[in-house]
Amino acid sequence: MTEQTHEFQAEVAKLLDIVAHSLYSEKEIFLRELVSNSSDACDRLRYAALTKPDLIKEDPEFKVILSVDQKAKTLTITDNGIGMTEQEMIENLGTIARSGTSRFSEELTGDSTKDINLIGQFGVGFYSSFMVADKVTVVSRKAGEKAATVWSSNGGGSFEIAEGTREGRGTTITLHMRKEAKEFLEPLRLRNIVKTYADHIALPVILKAEKEGDEDEVLNTASALWTRQKSEISAEQYTEFYHHVGQAYDSPWMTLHSKVEGRIEYTMLLFIPEQPPFDLFSPERKSKLKLYVKRVFITDDCEELIPAYLRFLRGVVDSEDLPLNVSREMLQNNPVLHKIRSGLVKKVIGEIEKKAKKDPESFASFWDNFGAVLKEGIYEDTDNGERILKLAQFRSTKADNRTYLADYVERMKEGQDAIYYITGDDIDALKSSPQLEGFAAKGIEVLLLEDAVDNFWLSRITEYEGKSFKSVTRGTAGLENLADEKDPSKEPETKAESAEMDSLIALFKQALEGKVKDVKESLRLTDSPVCLVADDGDMDIHLEKVLKAHKQFGGAESMRILELNPTHMLIKKLAANAKTNGTSEALEDAALLLLDQAHIVEGDPVSDPVAFSKRMADFMASGISA
């Protein structure tokens, strides 16, 4: 094979440009990234060798070797991990393989300060080499294969691929250091960087002696961090490990390191991030927790290890009881794993509960980030759902900050026997929903539930501490049993006479036949003329919308009830007119217009915008005398 030139994927070219020209601070992280990749490559081969021991027979000790050539001004990082085939090199070192690539690309602004921040969130991985090197050569040979491939690039728009030779499996990365990065050729500097960023790596990182006859030096502790005593691990070491294992760049919000002994033995070192990962809400709901068996990495894609609603956790679980030759398939329905999972969930929820008590402010920021995910557990986890519900904080019409249900219940008014809520996806729209007016008038607090997931848990959980949940947009809402809060400065509203309202309702029903389920006098409106509500047995308005948006709604659309506010000036006039004159085109138009208005307030599109505009214009014209 002769040398071939390949173009970098567009995102990579942009990234490299920023990496090479703007990323001035913290250049040293390039070594963390490369050693981390080497460690991952060794982990992957160790796993593959469980079923194919021949792969590592000739060279069973995994290691990373750093060597410096002062004359050539190169730093070389060599590992005996799994290696890459030619095709894998083209894919892995020419594209950004991670799932957020398209988002990454969309969010690059061209403004270097902003872009550096963004890169901080995504990580630069291998490409960080170009922060310190103006030429990078990678020679790799996949375990079990003879051929080796050379990849090289100067960080411009392209890279070269050629055939190469390599003794044994693994990957060797040679960095031709830029002049201003020559500090990274000094042993002292390298020693410090490895100690800071790679001490927790479970395999030795060795600095090759420069002079013949001198001893090579192991730079790190080289034992898996989670196997060490808590007292021997510093906060910085935990954070570094979190960066490595979680592919994250923030600090952990919570670190949970615990060894479980007894009939089943396992160690977990878990982290809850401070910042939400960018793919938190991607539909796969995948967890990234790493499963190890007796220090051997097995997988980071194990659905059985943690429930999806804890997918924001990062870290490792290392089991003593699973067989080493466990295949990923065997992990399904595995009783040991099942016990680990249930222990882990209880521990994590327990720790979050403690933190919520001890540091409410910090808990509030956690809830901001992950509450919407954790709430999935309320309906998915029959064992722990109730505990999560107790931890849950919601916005409400009364509390400035989010409120616990327990506090809501404490504030409930005399005679109030339900927990009222309204669901939607925009908090401002929720706050101004007409359906809340009657509740405000009676001083009743309503929870404003803004996450799609709220609709789902509410379809399964019907009460909290004996108080049922009640949607303010469905049924009668029970307002008739609750007294108004009297405002002495306000005259009581006059209502349309009931005979007039009866006539108006009868006319509206006729005009809106087939468009609404019913027309009723409203108890819940004080300011708006009309609103839509769902009938008692029907699906809540917002839930139906959410299901439709997720294409999970197959049934016929439920028809809604149109409620009329008998104290509103317009309704009073229409009612008087209906009683005196009976049906008329103007009243029919009013009915249709008011229905459209009610839909608009719900955020629905107007079903026939042309007819709507025409009616609106006619109506306005008739109201204005020349």
Ligand X SMILES: Nc1ncnc2c1ncn2[C@@H]1O[C@H](COP(=O)(O)OP(=O)(O)OP(=O)(O)O)[C@@H](O)[C@H]1O
**Which helix (H) or strand (E) is 420 found in, with range?**
strand 418-423
Q: How far is 161 from 150, CA to CA, in rounded Å?
A: 6
Query: Min. distance of Cβ 84 from ligand X in angstroms?
Result: 5
Residue of 335, 320, 248 whose CA lies nearest to 289: 248
Which residue in 38, 129, 433, 435 binds ligand X (CB under 6 A)?
A: 38
* Per-residue CA distances from 535 to 421, 450, 518, 532, 587 (Å): 16, 22, 9, 10, 25
The distance of closest approach from Cβ of residue 19 to ligand X in the complex, given in angstroms and rounded to an integer, is 11
Q: Give 270's DSSP letter.
A: E
Q: Which stretch binds ligand X (CB under 6 A): 66-74, 79-87, 481-489, 527-535?
A: 79-87
Least Cβ distance, residue 50 to ligand X (angstroms): 18
Task: Identify which range of 82-90, 259-267, 353-361, 382-390 contacts ligand X by CB under 6 A.
Answer: 82-90
Contacts of 621 (CB under 8 A, 6+ apart): none
Cα distances (Å, whole numbers) of residue 339 to 97, 336, 342, 388: 34, 5, 5, 20
Its sign, for the CA torsion 196, 197, 200, 203, is negative
Q: Is residue 197 a contact partner of residue 242, using CB atoms and an 8 Å limit? A: no
Among 84, 181, 224, 322, binds ligand X (CB under 6 A): 84
Judged by CB under 6 A, the residue of 67, 74, 85, 92 near ligand X is 92
Residue 33 CB, shortest distance to ligand X, in Å, is 5
Helix (H, G, I), strand (E, B) or coil at 509: helix
Q: Which stretch binds ligand X (CB under 6 A): 30-38, 383-391, 400-408, 599-607?
A: 30-38
Nearer to ligand X, 41 or 336 (CB): 41
Site for ligand X in 509-528 (CB under 6 A): none
On whether the CB atoms of residues 532 and 599 are closer than 8 A, the answer is yes
Closest separation in Å from C-beta 327 to ligand X:
21
424 binds ligand X (CB under 6 A): no
Question: What's the per-residue H, E or C state across 177-237?
Answer: ECHHHHHHHCHHHHHHHHHHHHCCCCCCEEECCCCCCCCCEECCCCCCHHHCCHHHCCHHH
Pattern 383-422, ligand X, x by CB under 6 A: ----------------------------------------
Distances (CA, A) of 519 to 96, 465, 537, 584, 606: 57, 34, 16, 18, 19
CB of 136 to ligand X, least distance (A): 11
Judged by CB under 6 A, the stretch of 53-61, 81-89, 185-193, 432-440 that binds ligand X is 81-89
- Least separation in angstroms between CB 29 and ligand X: 10
User: What letter would DSSP give residue 484?
Assistant: P
The correct pick among 94, 125, 307, 566 for binding ligand X (CB under 6 A) is: 125
Pattern 157-196, binding to ligand X, x per CB under 6 A?
--------------x-------------------------
Under DSSP, the state recorded for 52 is -
Contact assessment for residue 133 and residue 175, using Cβ atoms and an 8 Å cutoff = yes
Q: Which of 340, 343, 367 is nearest to 353 (CA)?
A: 367
Window contacting ligand X (CB under 6 A); options: 7-15, 34-42, 149-157, 251-259: 34-42
Which C-beta is closer to ligand X: that of 34 or that of 405?
Answer: 34
Using the rule CB under 6 A, is 81 a contact of ligand X? yes
The residue nearest ligand X at its CB is 125
Rounded Cα gap, residues 22 and 362, in angstroms = 34
> According to the binding rule CB under 6 A, does residue 247 interact with ligand X?
yes
User: Least distance from C-beta 123 to ligand X, angstroms?
Assistant: 3
Q: Give residues in contact with ligand X (CB under 6 A).
A: 33, 37-38, 41, 79, 81-84, 92-93, 97, 123, 125-127, 171, 247
